[in-house]
Chain A
Amino acid sequence: DIVLTQSPATLSVTPGDRVSLSCRASQSISNYLHWYQQKSHESPRLLIKYASQSISGIPSRFSGSGSGTDFTLSINSVETEDFGMYFCQQSNSWPYTFGGGTKLEIK
């Protein structure tokens, strides 16, 4: 199975900061990498698909980049509503797998 390693595990930030979350794959997955946000007691929400494609209804401050094994989710000017867990997921090969998550918290 492809292992996705997310870093850091926890990121403490101040509203207004620009942040970058990392997801590294154990082997090349091209651009078959997707990002989700999960708030407490809610289901995951798709933020970015295929590494960098935007999703309708998602604020433009969220963007993704990368290919191969290294990927980044960037949030330009974090807002209080952005705090929660972020997961990456690969769909290059079955079984699809998720990263362990990054918790974005208020400093």
Chain B
Amino acid sequence: DVQLQESGPGLVKPSQSLSLTCTVTGYSITSDYAWNWIRQFPGNKLEWMGYISYSGSTSYNPSLKSRISITRDTSKNQFFLQLNSVTTEDTATYYCARGLFSMDYWGQGTSVTVSS
């Protein structure tokens, strides 16, 4: 069965970088699909952050401008999120998910708080 699991620090200081890992089991991230990062703010609003495709190409939400980077380690079947220069507005639950148009598998989510 396909499973995704997010990991990373739960607390990040303002102006620093947020780094998260998504570990995928049961499916190779180089086989097909896009591998996404999506976040949910307090109050339930969902925001698509970006993805890395099975071929390694990336696409990012313009709202995140140049702060975001999504990379991968195919040997470990993991992909990563880096978000730079965080502020308190980046406090959210971060999900990784599989899919190109609709998302059929999601991780359980990891809560990240930006606070000094």
Binding site for B on A (CB under 8 A): 32, 34, 36, 42-46, 49-50, 55, 85, 87, 89, 91, 94-98, 100-101
Contacts of B48 in A (CB 8 A): 95-98
- What is the minimal beta-carbon distance from A64 to any residue of chain B, in angstroms? 12
Segment of B22-30, B70-78, B102-110 in the binding face: B102-110
User: Does any Cβ of A come within 8 Å of B116's Cβ?
Assistant: no
Number of interface residues of B (CB under 8 A): 19
In the assembled complex, B65 has its CB within 8 A of some CB on chain A = no
Partner of A94, one of B44, B59, B95: B59
Query: Does B63 lie within 8 Å of A55, measured CB to CB?
Result: no
Tell me the number of A-to-B contacts counted with CB atoms below 8 Å: 46
| B interface majority secondary structure | loop
Given contacts A43-B107, A43-B108, A43-B109, contact A91 B44 (CB under 8 A): no
**Distance A81 CA – B47 CA, assembled complex (angstroms):** 26
How far apart sit A37 and B101, CA to CA, in the bound complex (Å)?
17
Contacts of B61 in A (CB 8 A): 95
State A72–B109 Cα separation when bound (angstroms).
Answer: 27
